[in-house]
Amino acid sequence: MDKEQLLKIIELSKKKDHKAFEKLVEHYQSYAFSLSFKLVCNDEDAKDIVQESFIRVWQHIHKFNINTKFTTWLYKIVFNLSLDKLKANKRRKYVAVDTEHVTILFDKLVDADTETDIANKDLAMLISSLANELTPKQKAVFILRDLQGAEMDEISEITSMSKGTVKSNLYYARLNIREKLKRIENIKTLQHEVR
């Protein structure tokens, strides 16, 4: 969908055109699902978040400024709802991390081609095992930057953090994750040597 088409659909949605909005949902729901899934690491919760996000988009679309990037606006809503969900389910462990299974999954990931085909359950486990020691801010910044490819300014807008805070959170997140991945690599090397 090009920018002109998107603006037309948004204008129609502002006039409460259901069909136009349905097109917007069809086009962007997978983007929204991707972010919410990576944040909450749960299929059903991610879908609930996407649904709630689009309801809010519909309710507040009249406030949307056409000079803003639509995905940034949508991501901000998805991000905030995902954080709410994580807070609400603080006590619940989303994914039980099985270290042995995670190592096998990382093996698969290393051997995979550029287009990685991996089951949602396994993807949730991989992300959880990597990000489980991060603070919520570090996790959010890492997912937005390294797993979703958002730009620094966009992350600052989505998370309502200054660019400096985004940078420092990203630094600590990468430091932690790179060290973790190195440990996994070392384990694999050791296992290989033992065999």
Using CB under 8 A as the binding criterion, the count of chain residues that bind other proteins stands at 53
Q: Which two tokens stand for residue 16?
A: 């409460």
Q: Is 94 exposed, middle or buried (0-12, 13-18, 19+ CB in 10 A)?
A: middle
Angle (CA) 173 29 135, round 5°: 20
| Under rule CB under 8 A, residue 79 binds other proteins | no
Gap between the Cα atoms of 139 and 147, Å rounded: 11
Minimum distance from residue 58 beta carbon to other proteins (Å): 5
Minimum distance from residue 118 beta carbon to other proteins (Å): 5
Q: Which is nearer to other proteins, 55 or 187 (CB)?
A: 55
Cβ–Cβ under 8 Å, residues 74 and 154: no
* Block residue for tokens 């990576």: 38
Binding test (CB under 8 A) with other proteins, winner from 178, 186, 187, 191: 178
Binding test (CB under 8 A) with other proteins, winner from 110, 136, 189, 190: 110
Minimum distance from residue 67 beta carbon to other proteins (Å): 21
Residue closest to 126 by CA, chosen among 99, 146, 144, 86: 99
Residue closest to 124 by CA, chosen among 105, 104, 146: 105
Q: Which stretch binds other proteins (CB under 8 A): 76-84, 87-95, 172-180, 187-195?
A: 172-180
Cβ–Cβ under 8 Å, residues 184 and 108: no
Cβ neighbour number for residue 126 with a 10 Å cutoff: 20
Q: Which stretch binds other proteins (CB under 8 A): 3-11, 62-70, 89-97, 110-118?
A: 110-118
List residues binding other proteins (CB under 8 A): 18, 21-22, 25-26, 29-30, 33-34, 37-38, 43, 46-47, 50-51, 54-55, 58-59, 106, 109-110, 112, 114-120, 123-124, 126-127, 130, 145-149, 151-152, 167, 170-171, 174-175, 177-178, 181-182, 185
